Structure 1
Amino acid sequence: MKKMNVIAFMAMFLPLWAAAQFTISGKVVDGSGQRPLVGANVTVNQYSSQTDANGNFSFRNLRGGNYVIKVTFLGFNTYSQTLHLSADQTLNVGLQVSNFVTDAVIVKATRASESSPTTYKNIDKEELAKNNLGQDLPYLLNQTPSVVVSSDAGNGVGYTGIRIRGSDPTRVNVTINGIPYNDPESQGTFWVNLPDFASSVDNIQIQRGVGTSTNGAVAFGGSLNIQTTTRHDTAYAELNSAGGSFGTLKNTLNLGSGLMADKFTIDGRLSAISSDGFIDRGSSNLKSFFSSAAYYGKKDLVRVNVFGGKEKTYQVWNGVPEAKLRGESDALLTHYYNNQGVLYFTQEDSLNLWDSDGRTYSQFRYNNQTDNYNQTHYQTLYTHTFNPALSFNTALHYTFGKGYYEEFKNGASLEDYGLNSTLFGGTAGQETDLVRRRWLKNDFYGLTYSLDYSPSSEYSIIIGGAYNEYDGDHFGEVISATLPVSSINQQYYLGRGLKKDFNIYGRIDFQVGRARLFYDLQYRYVDYAITGTDKTLTEQDLQYYHKFFNPKAGITYSVDNHSNIYGSFAIGNKEPNRDDYRYALAEAMPQAENLKNVEVGYRNAGKVYNFGINYYGMFYRNQLVLTGKINDVGEYIRQNVPTSYRMGFELDGRVLLSKDLSWGANITLSRNKVKNYTEYMDDYDNGGQVSNTYAKADIAFSPSVIAGSDFSYKIAKGLEATLLSKYVSKQYMDNTSNEDRKLDPFFVNDFRLRYNIQARKLKNIGLTLLVNNVFDEKYESNGYTYSYMYGGQITENFYFPQAGTNVLLGLNIKL
């Protein structure tokens, strides 16, 4: 199997070739014909480019046949033409000023363009829809460069995660219509709270590295800039249903009014997803909705979005012990004795450890060992165009979230939770089984804005920023126990986090000959307070302030009408998260992280193939990592490491191999190192901790090779088959480069078959068959590890196995 994987991996990157014959070229100007439109987006079938400083574009080496040419530019009506190419074609396109303000203005301030010295990838709703059969948004982005995804339940439904260039979700900035989505305290993103969100997404731009200035915490690995539903001029109704392995079922209904009275639109979506999960009891029960109403005027656009989700997932976040996964009986027995009384409390738990399947094992047996959360977002977006050169965009937002996770605890006492057993018929300190819930209730609200001044194609200026506040309550309660009075319902801790986040940025780019220069300066101020008690019953009264200056500069040089070279340098600063502050040692308080990011690349678009290559260097100071160090109450803490870096090359391209066969591929080759890293291990033999120091080691979860490939073949009209491949090299689960603490490399192939036809009264009937992991690769995409001294060094590894071959079948009906 390994030999087959190597052969298949090499086949992903065979030399590109394509026959070539004709050229489509032209110029894009405004309706008067006087002003060339610089940076207009031009697409010819699946290939895209932007007009140069004179408004010119060119697509060379095209085969004869039918092509759809589409030209878009902010503030102008879209131009579209179908032509049969049998000779070179020259087009002069005059775009007319739009009677409406377009939705693109909403996210323009945070977006990169073809002329930006930024490394990015655009994904449209058509591309998202191809795989949208119930799996979460990270899985729909799996084929983009430098991305690794994982799923706790093993099948992409429920809790999922995405890493970009090895950076975890707390370092990936996410905005929805320019509004921050990352949790302000943990800084993570939880897509399970917005199930089937992709069904209401119009487009996503993935920026890698620091990227352009945006709202929320600075991107330390990448950013996802998401725009939701935009204007539909005609009424529509769409039903999407899918089902498949592990009892997975998805139903989605989309409805829209189209443009009413030439000014108003209403859109809505309802979704329900359920799955048993690949892992035992890894179930998910997910519901979500999206609603939007918009007013389109000649100079004004108002859009109100209300959307949210409700999730209930069984907890499978503890993973599978390595000995259980590998089927090593002696090692499993050692693991059992080392953890008896810590992980496994009952005879039923012990039997489950021995008798269950190694790849689908789940530790928890309590029926309601679940995570439950509701989240609702309210957004009011407003854009005003003063004149063709000046526009203003602002948004008010509010998010409410509330939920808990419930746990069964065996052999505990109410006194451990600051409660009195005697009040419930027991004796002081009496051992009991109990059920607890840990809650999070939060409010997040604020304002974002941007002012865009583009008087000519020679330069543009954007000034933007935001003010946001987060108010979150963290509390826990014991709800029941095996005491004479079994119903407890007593709160045992209550803490609060209050965070204020202000930023302002200014961006200018201007043309100098064939070069376009870019400057972006951001100031950010953070005020964060933690008060009350935490889950350890420790009193907290903490206050932190951060002032960050994040400058960026770059240059893009236009080689010709369809290619450019770019380079940029950016500095990003990022504050520690809630747990970093709460668990910190008094003598070693966490410091803000600093990143210096270099990006240099070449892009070539508009020919029979699109191609891009770039080098990146990400140099960290004071990066926060887990070291095994504990604080005075035994909690593991993250510590700053002085120096670490990521360096690599990314290649991304697509080629039309024949009239019906296309191939897209990407690969990342990187080095990811932390210098002078100290590992700490608990010493149960002598007390305290012991340490090991490493001069240079690999950063955890940072594979040196990430590659993706998709071959798409049009079998017949409306029928397309695609082979999707993903290779990820080995990853270490900590920062020691220890071969005994790693995730093995994996090479996974998925097969997709899509058939779309039009019926008399239906716009589309579509069938999609998605076979995931067609070669039944046994692999793990995530895990964790810890080591300690107990009669010698012991290392405990835990893994999250991913599903073998599994199937999803989807039906799409559009009215």
Structure 2
Amino acid sequence: MKTVLTTGLLLLGLSGAAWAQGPVAGTITDARTGAPLPGATILLDGTPSGSTDAAGSFSLEAVPAGSHELRITFVGYESLLLPVRGQVAGQRLAGQLRPGGVLTADALVTAQRASDRTATAFTNLNKQELTKRNFGQDLPYLLDQTPSVVVNSDAGAGVGYTDIRIRGTSNTGINMTINGIPLNDAESHGSFLVNLPDLASSISSLQIQRGVGTSQNGGAAFGASLNISTLDNRREAYGETSNSYGSFNTWKNTVQFGTGLLGQHFTVDGRLSRISTDGYMNRAASDLKSYYLAAGYQAKNTLVKFITFSGREKTYQAWNGVPEPAITGDQKLLQQFIDNGELSAADAERVRQEGRRYSYYTYDNQTDNYQQNHYQLHLSQGLGPDWNLGAALHLTRGFGYYESFRANRKLASYNLPDVVVGTTTLKRTDLVDRKWLDNYFFGGTFALNYQPKGNDKLQATLGGGWNRFLNDHYGEVIWARYASTGNIRHRYYFNDATKTDYHAYARATFQVVEQLGVYGDVQVRHINYNLDGLASGRVDVATHVNYTFFNPKAGATFALAEGQQLYASFAVGQREPVRSDFLEYSASSQRVRAERLNDFEGGYRLTKPNGTLLGPNTALRLEANFFYMDYRNQLVSIGQLNEVGTPLRTNVARSYRRGLELTGRLSANDNISLSSTLTLSQNRIRDYQQPTSDSTFVLRTSTISYSPSVVSAHTLEGQPLAVVPGLRAALLYKTVSRQYLDNSTSAERRLSPYQVLDFRLRYTIRPAFIKEIELGLLVNNVLNRRYAANGYTYGYPGADGQFQNFNWYYPQATRNFLVSVGAKL
């Protein structure tokens, strides 16, 4: 810590060189039509420094004194080079891009992305926006300020196992892709971002679509989709490092490099990252490592890019959470937990002492260990003036285990005979087991894009893909106090899964007249899933199913006036159950059903670029989006977990989510901005069969579990000191209303509402001997709130014969901090 502070003071001493810097802002438009170009990349002296917003506007808060080169690039357009000078008074620019230029690798990614023409609700984030939020926490925490998002962390501080929900839907219902390649696990539908630590440092752009959205590769979106791109090409060589340290002994070290364009055709980019933490919860440490490497070749009409990235994680298990009385201090309920769990005197004392940071496990290697290697080969090919093709081949290799100490387990459950010692027969033993996953996911995707040259009224895409997933599940006993005939690594269960998925989609937007545009999208998807063998507990898991889904989508946009738009859309999404659904339902007489979602979206957008509404250098964007998501056979969480921490779910015949999302951003004088988002929603199950104590059911309307009715996020960011233009400060405020742990709408089984305030400070200087140095500070939970962002519940018959419930929670960290030092060469 002393070294970090010393370094920080030394760098602050160099800040005088930056005082002569000033802002540069401008607007980028199409040279043919004059229309704004949102998403154009802005490079200052070869360093990506942001992108244009929906109105084609950009702003750089601090450009050093002297002459500089500003390069603007955009897909399908020639790059534009503008000279700029850093001056305190600031500088405004207007640039026009002409069609043409070198083809980029975005043909496959942009084919799946939404725009103002597709009549859907979406949020774009560029590299600059992600970078300023990235102190080492997982990607969900970098998205916390976007609409309808709720995040949580098992270990409490945003590193390790984290989760994201959008509109109340967990990540099993959020379609995630990286460069158009599906990321969701084929069996569980989950996207375990702990396997890809510091992915955010390699992201060039990201889009969140809420609702069903446009057709995607992989499974249909049931709450949202997350489309990630790492395909950015940087023409100039660069070297960067970013390092963070903070509470709970949290470290992040990242090194990135790029060759720039070599010989006008070749590029190489790479990254190495390491993140480690002790975690806020006791015994919740994480040790995460990752790399990213990309090599590309480009010509005027061809781009080939090979990308490989990998992550390896070792996390101490914090899946169990904390029993409610350890948090509340209810001694009677705490004693009940101790008695039911048959805790030893030492463990009972530990839960009393540790309180809300209590961890159930004490075995020193109670860890989750997993590695995931990704390989992607991308082709973008121009096919004449009107067509281009994006295609990709991919392979993901995943393998790992979690290790657990098990006390007093039945030998028969591990396929081991009883142990006879003298005249005593032992049927139980203490042991350590490992549960393994060993899988391959491979396939190909394509997108053929059509846009007539000189005619921007019509845009069309034909795309699809074929993917196969092979996964072995098996368990080993690596130690037992009494092992009988068992060998080291005795395998006590094995099952294998094969899942094949192929799909095709066609999409088009057409501007009927100047004010009216229409959008159509159809997708056909077929799934074949086979599961054979025995699971833990010697349970037969045989499952053989086929599904074919037809998912149509349509929408329309209407321009009320310049910068004002109305839109409406209807979309169908259908999804197959996940592995745990099949296994849980196999124990009952019921059959798990596929889900269907009919999604209605409609809204209004207002975009006023700099100077067009509230005066010079002032920009405004507002959006109001209404959604009605009508479900058939939705699989909702019942609030309980299985033995590996996966939420258990059940089909409900009729349910819906409806609500209003309000978002807005106001910026003034390129020095201060306010962004806000508010979601008001109802999330209901119709005729829910609520179980009672006498094993009968009552039909009633109920609130869907883990679905808050109010979520808001607000960011106030600006330059607090005019004489220090490189200093930017931000206040980030998040509110989440009450959530229920199951579908009973019971006040006894809920997550209390919470509000969290964070503070961020970044200071950028550009001394003569290096391109850029940046210092950062992030203070999380400034107001020191004690809250839990996730939890679960389970029921059991009490001593009096009445059915009782017991709650577990995942407390989040109280006030904590992260500091960072970064440099660009």
User: What displacement does 1:788 show?
Assistant: 2.9
Contact 2:50/2:126 (<8 A) preserved:
no
Q: State the SS of the aligned residue for 2:783.
A: coil
Say what the alpha-carbon RMSD is for the aligned residues.
Answer: 2.9
Q: Which of residues 797, 801, 805 in structure 1 aligns to 2:807? A: 797
Contact 2:277/2:287 (<8 A) preserved:
yes
User: What displacement does 1:473 show?
Assistant: 0.5
Contact 1:42/1:50 (<8 A) preserved:
no
User: What displacement does 1:540 show?
Assistant: 3.1
Match of 2:716 in 1: 711
Residues 615-645 of structure 1, C-alpha deviations (whole Å, 9 max, x = no match): 01111010012448999xxx99633111111
Residues 319-367 of structure 1, C-alpha deviations (whole Å, 9 max, x = no match): 1111111011111112222332xxx4x44333322332x1101111111
User: What displacement does 1:600 show?
Assistant: 0.5
Q: State the SS of the aligned residue for 1:584.
A: helix
Contact 1:628/1:636 (<8 A) preserved:
yes
Match of 2:662 in 1: 651
Match of 1:159 in 2: 161
Q: State the SS of the aligned residue for 1:605.
A: strand
Match of 1:662 in 2: 673
Match of 2:479 in 1: 480
Match of 1:471 in 2: 470
Match of 1:618 in 2: 629
Match of 1:13 in 2: none
Contact 1:584/1:637 (<8 A) preserved:
no
Match of 2:772 in 1: 764
In 2, Cα distance between equivalents of 1:495 and 1:88: 65
Q: State the SS of the aligned residue for 1:690.
A: coil
Contact 1:425/1:483 (<8 A) preserved:
no
In 2, Cα distance between equivalents of 1:364 and 1:330: 23
Residues 109-130 of structure 1, C-alpha deviations (whole Å, 9 max, x = no match): 1001122201000011111111
Q: Which amino acid aligns with 2:718?
A: Y
Match of 1:584 in 2: 585
Rate the CA distance shift 1:220–1:278 in 2: closer, same or farther, 3 A. same
Q: Which of residues 742, 746, 750 in structure 1 aligns to 2:754? A: 746
In 1, Cα distance between equivalents of 2:57 and 2:227: 29
Contact 1:481/1:487 (<8 A) preserved:
no
In 2, Cα distance between equivalents of 1:385 and 1:740: 60
**1:389 is the counterpart of 2:386:** yes
Residues 224-267 of structure 1, C-alpha deviations (whole Å, 9 max, x = no match): 00001411111111111100100101111101111100100001
In 1, Cα distance between equivalents of 2:52 and 2:173: 30
Match of 2:296 in 1: 294
Contact 2:28/2:37 (<8 A) preserved:
no
Q: Which amino acid aligns with 1:479?
A: I
Match of 1:555 in 2: 556
Contact 2:154/2:318 (<8 A) preserved:
yes
Contact 1:584/1:590 (<8 A) preserved:
yes
Contact 1:529/1:542 (<8 A) preserved:
yes
Residues 365-393 of structure 1, C-alpha deviations (whole Å, 9 max, x = no match): 11111100011000000110012310011
Q: Which of residues 271, 274, 278 in structure 2 aligns to 1:272? A: 274
Match of 1:75 in 2: 76
Q: State the SS of the aligned residue for 1:354.
A: helix
Rate the CA distance shift 1:516–1:771 in 2: closer, same or farther, 3 A. same
Match of 2:244 in 1: 242
Matches within 5 A, 1:370-769: 370-422=367-419, 429-455=426-452, 456-483=455-482, 488-513=488-513, 514-585=515-586, 587-607=589-609, 608-627=619-638, 638-657=649-668, 660-680=671-691, 690-714=695-719, 715=721, 716-769=724-777
Rate the CA distance shift 1:46–1:579 in 2: closer, same or farther, 3 A. closer
Match of 1:105 in 2: 107
Match of 1:173 in 2: 175
In 2, Cα distance between equivalents of 1:185 and 1:415: 28
Rate the CA distance shift 1:231–1:679 in 2: closer, same or farther, 3 A. same
In 2, Cα distance between equivalents of 1:636 and 1:75: 45
Residues 439-484 of structure 1, C-alpha deviations (whole Å, 9 max, x = no match): 1110000000010011121101100001000000010011101127
Contact 2:107/2:449 (<8 A) preserved:
no
User: What displacement does 1:678 show?
Assistant: 1.8
**1:785 is the counterpart of 2:793:** yes
Rate the CA distance shift 1:180–1:424 in 2: closer, same or farther, 3 A. farther
Contact 1:28/1:40 (<8 A) preserved:
no
Rate the CA distance shift 1:46–1:379 in 2: closer, same or farther, 3 A. closer
Rate the CA distance shift 1:272–1:493 in 2: closer, same or farther, 3 A. same
Where does the alignment leave 5 or more consecutive residues of structure 1 unmatched? Answer: 1-22, 52-56, 60-65, 684-688
Match of 1:304 in 2: 306
In 1, Cα distance between equivalents of 2:579 and 2:600: 29
In 2, Cα distance between equivalents of 1:605 and 1:218: 30
Rate the CA distance shift 1:180–1:423 in 2: closer, same or farther, 3 A. farther
Q: Which amino acid aligns with 1:795?
A: N
Contact 1:43/1:49 (<8 A) preserved:
no
User: What displacement does 1:415 show?
Assistant: 1.7
Q: Which amino acid aligns with 1:757?
A: I
Q: Which moved more, 1:608-617 or 1:582-591?
A: 582-591
Q: Which moved more, 1:583-592 or 1:804-813?
A: 583-592
Match of 1:331 in 2: 333
Q: State the SS of the aligned residue for 1:804.
A: coil
In 1, Cα distance between equivalents of 2:420 and 2:202: 51
In 1, Cα distance between equivalents of 2:470 and 2:269: 31
Q: State the SS of the aligned residue for 2:119.
A: coil
Match of 2:253 in 1: 251
Rate the CA distance shift 1:417–1:717 in 2: closer, same or farther, 3 A. same
Contact 1:290/1:305 (<8 A) preserved:
yes
Contact 1:40/1:71 (<8 A) preserved:
no
Rate the CA distance shift 1:68–1:150 in 2: closer, same or farther, 3 A. farther
Q: State the SS of the aligned residue for 1:330.
A: helix
Q: Which amino acid aligns with 2:509?
A: D
Match of 2:5 in 1: none
Q: Which amino acid aligns with 1:102?
A: T
Contact 1:612/1:652 (<8 A) preserved:
yes
In 1, Cα distance between equivalents of 2:176 and 2:777: 30
Q: Which amino acid aligns with 1:778?
A: R
Percent identity over the alignment is: 41
In 1, Cα distance between equivalents of 2:603 and 2:765: 41
- The alignment of Structure 1 onto Structure 2 pairs a total of residues equal to 763
Rate the CA distance shift 1:740–1:28 in 2: closer, same or farther, 3 A. same
Q: Which amino acid aligns with 1:699?
A: I
Rate the CA distance shift 1:403–1:25 in 2: closer, same or farther, 3 A. closer
Q: Which amino acid aligns with 1:478?
A: V
Q: Which amino acid aligns with 1:755?
A: Y
User: What displacement does 1:413 show?
Assistant: 3.0
Rate the CA distance shift 1:246–1:630 in 2: closer, same or farther, 3 A. closer
Q: Which moved more, 1:138-147 or 1:330-339?
A: 330-339
Contact 2:105/2:378 (<8 A) preserved:
no
Calculate the TM-score normalised by the size of structure 2: 0.88
User: What displacement does 1:541 show?
Assistant: 2.6
In 1, Cα distance between equivalents of 2:476 and 2:421: 15
Q: Which amino acid aligns with 1:508?
A: A
Calculate the TM-score normalised by the size of structure 1: 0.89
Q: State the SS of the aligned residue for 1:446.
A: strand
